[in-house]
Structure 1
Amino acid sequence: MNRITKYAALVAAACAVLGFSGPGGASAAAPDSLDWGECTGPGLDPRQQCATLDVPMDYSDPGSPKIRIAVSRIPSEKPPARRGALLLIPGGPGGDSLGDPSGKGQKLPRKVREMYDLVGFAPRGMAPSTAVDCALDPADLSMTKRLPWPAPDGSLDENMATARRTAEACVRDGGELIRHISTANEARDLDRLRAALGEERISAWGVSYGTYVGAVYSQLFPHRADRIVLDSNDDPDHTRVTRNWLAAFEVGVEDTFPEFAKWAARPGNPYRVARTPAEVRSGFLRLAARLDREPLPWPGANPPRLDGNALRQIMLSSLYDPDDYPALAKAIRAAREGDVPPVPEAPPEPVLQNIAAVGVGTVCNDVDWPDSADAYQKDVHESRAVYPLTAGMPRGPMVCAAWPFAPREPAVRITGQGPSNILLVQNERDVATPLAGARKLRRALGERAVMVTVNSTGHDAYLDNGNACGDRTVSRFLATGTRPAADLYCD
């Protein structure tokens, strides 16, 4: 997972058949053709092609203006063996997969690359698709503002103030499109894309938030879905949606921090921070509390100080991938000595503005959030007591606490109705999409799905932080359609 996608993944971060022309219109409308041409951008495979697709901004309004969706593909490497197209559904909300046919798509086994055109896209609102931007104050682009980290005493006053500023900016500068950014509309866009590709059915590999997009697509268009892989899975509870994904961080951190602690206490590790895993944990908690009281100046960072929440955010980001453990260890070692680590890499401000706006539109339009600090305060205090590593953040108020609009439609309810063609793959220890949430998606899908649980740590399982057994199982399903007869544990 690249840095931009990881940043976006942190922000996060209906009935099966809706009562208007959205799903029906998406599948029944005459498909646009895609005029494939050369892609621009660094590091792309020369075989990758790009195009744009026009889709309705508002699927409930037949006269709605059109918006542009940017699309990419690398055609099948062996046309006689071609089965169809494999959508690479990105995480986020606020990620895109335009570069994925050239990137992670090339990790797929050759047989899979021969069977499918690999297709990426930038979801509605994400540049270079028709883009949204809230023109936020740069200070409010910080992850310690975008995620609801409470004050040292657990107060949520500053979180609510940030939510109001962000919501006001997005209403003022986000335009009409920000009202129509939602998971259900992304799924409808994907069905328009399926039709434009000339496919009766389409396969998909959805990762992180993309698992929810894939599940919603499979619910709205069950007979348009072919082989569906959902990798690192979100809780699909349609009554809470992103609120549950945010809350999952408290469990995900507790699932994964022990792995960091064992690594950071290992003799011979040049980044060792303590003698035992227990001392790693207790030392981290003491250091974060000290920085709450006595922040360190951190020139060039946003905000320009290393306080307890900044350290906790470094912790959260570093637990996505064991390869990032050294970043957290170096931050701990520096702060203990009164120094600061290097400023974390971040995308350019225009990219951050775009990511933030798409995130706001998705999380606030998918489901309604309580609109007062009192509605969150009790849960935050409870979370701080039970899950001290995350200090109450996972139960706090995001921008949606001040969003002035109600969702235009109920969130899609995921059920077991439809073909049995879904394979879930899930690492046992995942900070962002913990196993507990994946099990809820597995139960919701019923006989439609089989789940592969992988004895591994990190976010993104297939061909990334998983293991050989899990990778073989997913590759076999994509290549042959064969799934395990029952849920499988890959040790």
Structure 2
Amino acid sequence: MRAVAKCGVLTALGSLVLSALVTVPADGATADGGATAALGTAARGGIREARGVALAAAHAAGAGIAFRACPKTEMLPASVTCGIVEVPLDYAEPDGRTISLTVSRARASGTAEERQGALVFNPGGPGASSMYFPLAAGLPEWKRIAKAYDIVGYAPRGVGRSAPLSCEDPAATLRAPTQNPTHPTEAYKRERIAEAEAYARGCAENAGDALPHYNSLNNARDLDVLRAGLGEERLTFMGASYGTYFGALYATLFPSHVRRMVFDSAVDPDPRKVWYRNNLAQSAAFERRWEDFRTWVAKHDEAYHLGTTAEEVQRSYEKVREGVERKPAGGKVGTGQLQGVMLSAGYYDDYWAIRATALSEYLKGNPEPLISQASPRPEAAPDSENGNAVYTAVECNDAPWPTEWRVWDRDNTALAAWAPFETWDNAWMNLPCAYWPAPRQHPLDVRTFPGQLPPTLILAAERDAATPYEGALELHRRLAGSVLITERDAGTHGIAGSANACVNTYLEDYLLRGEAPARRAECAPHAEPKPVSLEPSDSRAGLPKRGDLAPRF
């Protein structure tokens, strides 16, 4: 068996280098059958880096991943085991410093004949971990998939215990109350500029010369080393949100290593939009989704008494904003915390009822639900700070950003004039990229041509705010042979394995049998959430399961 494995490693080594060299870029085919264009893509992806991936993957395939009981810090049950895979910090220097990525796995529950390999998942961010993903094996929606696949999660570089990145003291995330004006004054803007400059310096000071290596191309390369470590000749992968972006980079760099890929809630991969313009588009989409929430609340005015139209609900919301600006709720919830907790209603409509309840109760004189939902949570501070650091480093490293404040001010002022809900909050989160000390990359042009990839599956909700639907259309155009499944008139971010049986059927057909429609299909929206009673036991419901959210992909 050792000799066979070694032979397979050598084969994988050769095919990995070849796949990096034969990828065809956006320029299209040339007179020599695309070879010249292919070499251009390898150069942009990095010929030295391609060699580094090949070497790292060969080493990982030979070593494998030793799965054992998970550390207690992961808080995972005994049914899930954990291991590590070593990857180069810099793929151009594969013999240099390495970092360890943590990996989790739940073995396929079916027979050996039913097993199809490993299904690797990334939930997005940048800055999110999927170490929890093997727990999906116990959910009814994933039962059949979990029979066929080992369910594998991991923490990408910089996240969790995978060479963790930090840019500031986690206690800074607990500052409260804070204010977050939708139309900031010049004095407030100067304060936020100073904070952004300080944050960028903190990232550089803490990361040192490792800072440039936290980027999407390296995330894609890491994924191929993980594939090899798992013993998979070809990768079965599902990426959600930002996970779709570096998943698409993977498909472009390593098309011969793709078995099946699911892109759930796709980021627009157009290099001209990564990442500055994508964030502007995101803020515009959140305004539309915020209106969807207010329209639903108005429909259930008998439960919430916040108004019978979206406009009336907005006025009620402004009353809450004015109230916590004058006197922060519980001494902890100002307009900044209010904005943060209401943002989750733009991501997931299963938050609509609890958020509407908090607004309603506050205006009735009971601030406790809002305090419970919006107050900073000390136990979440380290993970939150780590996630923000990785998010910032990856997006700032990935692409050029405007470096003049006047450009940010002009674009966000114009957008906030008609989309005030999330525009400036999103701008402040990304502003460190204007002062970023590390070199910026130029995004790789995601594109494949007929015959390079097996069919891939794209899932998208038509009214998704975090990854607007236009991104799914763009990815569909760029990945030859891809299939787009659209959930019409819905806006939940991340729709695989959730409330829509139609979407789940397409997902299972694809992952279990490799079956998919010719090019596109549609699903009706999942059912709208039901309003809840305003009895005290409901209005004082516990903290949301998904935790605090920032505007990420």
Secondary structure of the structure 2 residue equivalent to 1:76: coil
- Residue 80 of structure 1: CA displacement? 1.7
Partner residue, 1:441: 475
Q: Indicate if the aligned counterparts of 2:134 and 2:153 stay in contact, CA closer than 8 A.
A: yes
Q: Indicate if the aligned counterparts of 2:157 and 2:164 stay in contact, CA closer than 8 A.
A: yes
Partners of 1:122 and 1:149 lie apart in 2 by 34
Deviations along 1:91-122, whole A, 9 cap, x unmatched?
Answer: 11111111111236745544322222111100
Deviations along 1:304-338, whole A, 9 cap, x unmatched?
Answer: x523x543333222221112113432443355467
Deviations along 1:129-187, whole A, 9 cap, x unmatched?
Answer: 22122234734676999999762579632331111010111111223333211111011
- Residue 480 of structure 1: CA displacement? 0.7
Give the counterpart letter for 1:413 in structure 2: D
Q: Indicate if the aligned counterparts of 1:211 and 1:233 stay in contact, CA closer than 8 A.
A: yes
Secondary structure of the structure 2 residue equivalent to 1:265: helix
Q: Indicate if the aligned counterparts of 1:132 and 1:175 stay in contact, CA closer than 8 A.
A: no
257-266 or 54-63: which moved more? Answer: 257-266
Partner residue, 1:357: 389
Give the counterpart letter for 2:353 in structure 1: P
Partner residue, 1:488: 521
- The question of 1:20 aligning with 2:53 is answered no
* Bigger CA radius of gyration: 2
Partner residue, 1:321: 348
- The question of 1:462 aligning with 2:496 is answered yes
Partners of 1:125 and 1:148 lie apart in 2 by 31
Partner residue, 2:241: 208
- Residue 339 of structure 1: CA displacement? 6.7
- The question of 1:368 aligning with 2:400 is answered yes
Secondary structure of the structure 1 residue equivalent to 2:102: strand
425-434 or 318-327: which moved more? Answer: 318-327
Over 3 Å counting, the alpha-carbon distance change for 1:207 and 1:297 in structure 2 is same
The 5-angstrom pairing of residues 161-200 of structure 1 reads 161-200=194-233
Partner residue, 2:291: 258
Deviations along 1:268-321, whole A, 9 cap, x unmatched?
Answer: 653341122332234435654x469x43224463xxx523x5433332222211
The correspondence for 2:83, drawn from 44, 47, 51, is 51
Q: Indicate if the aligned counterparts of 2:137 and 2:151 stay in contact, CA closer than 8 A.
A: no
Over 3 Å counting, the alpha-carbon distance change for 1:128 and 1:395 in structure 2 is closer
Structure 2 length-normalised TM: 0.78
Q: Indicate if the aligned counterparts of 2:177 and 2:331 stay in contact, CA closer than 8 A.
A: no
Higher relative contact order (CA 8 A, sep 6+): 1
Partner residue, 1:221: 254
The 5-angstrom pairing of residues 238-387 of structure 1 reads 238-267=271-300, 269-285=302-318, 288=321, 290=322, 294-299=325-330, 301=332, 305-307=333-335, 309-333=336-360, 336=363, 340=367, 341-343=370-372, 344=374, 346=377, 347-387=379-419
How many residue pairs end up in the alignment? 469
Secondary structure of the structure 2 residue equivalent to 1:54: strand
412-421 or 67-76: which moved more? Answer: 412-421
- Residue 16 of structure 1: CA displacement? 3.8
Partner residue, 1:93: 126
Partner residue, 1:432: 466
- Residue 421 of structure 1: CA displacement? 2.2
Partner residue, 1:5: none
Partners of 2:475 and 2:184 lie apart in 1 by 33
Give the counterpart letter for 2:69 in structure 1: E
- Residue 57 of structure 1: CA displacement? 0.5
Structure 1 length-normalised TM: 0.87
Secondary structure of the structure 1 residue equivalent to 2:347: coil
Secondary structure of the structure 2 residue equivalent to 1:88: strand
Partners of 2:52 and 2:145 lie apart in 1 by 31
Over 3 Å counting, the alpha-carbon distance change for 1:150 and 1:366 in structure 2 is farther
Partners of 1:35 and 1:389 lie apart in 2 by 47
354-363 or 268-277: which moved more? Answer: 268-277
Partners of 2:284 and 2:365 lie apart in 1 by 30
115-124 or 271-280: which moved more? Answer: 271-280
Secondary structure of the structure 2 residue equivalent to 1:332: helix
Give the counterpart letter for 2:252 in structure 1: Q
Partner residue, 1:7: none
Deviations along 1:226-251, whole A, 9 cap, x unmatched?
Answer: 11001011111223423233223323
Partners of 2:292 and 2:226 lie apart in 1 by 41
Partners of 1:48 and 1:229 lie apart in 2 by 23
Secondary structure of the structure 2 residue equivalent to 1:377: helix
Partner residue, 1:160: 193
Partner residue, 1:405: 438
Give the counterpart letter for 1:226 in structure 2: R
Over 3 Å counting, the alpha-carbon distance change for 1:174 and 1:336 in structure 2 is farther
Over 3 Å counting, the alpha-carbon distance change for 1:401 and 1:257 in structure 2 is same
Partners of 1:251 and 1:360 lie apart in 2 by 20
> Which runs of 5 or more structure 2 residues have no equivalent in the other structure?
1-24, 26-39, 525-553
Deviations along 1:25-78, whole A, 9 cap, x unmatched?
Answer: 313542322111112347634332111111100111133201001011112222
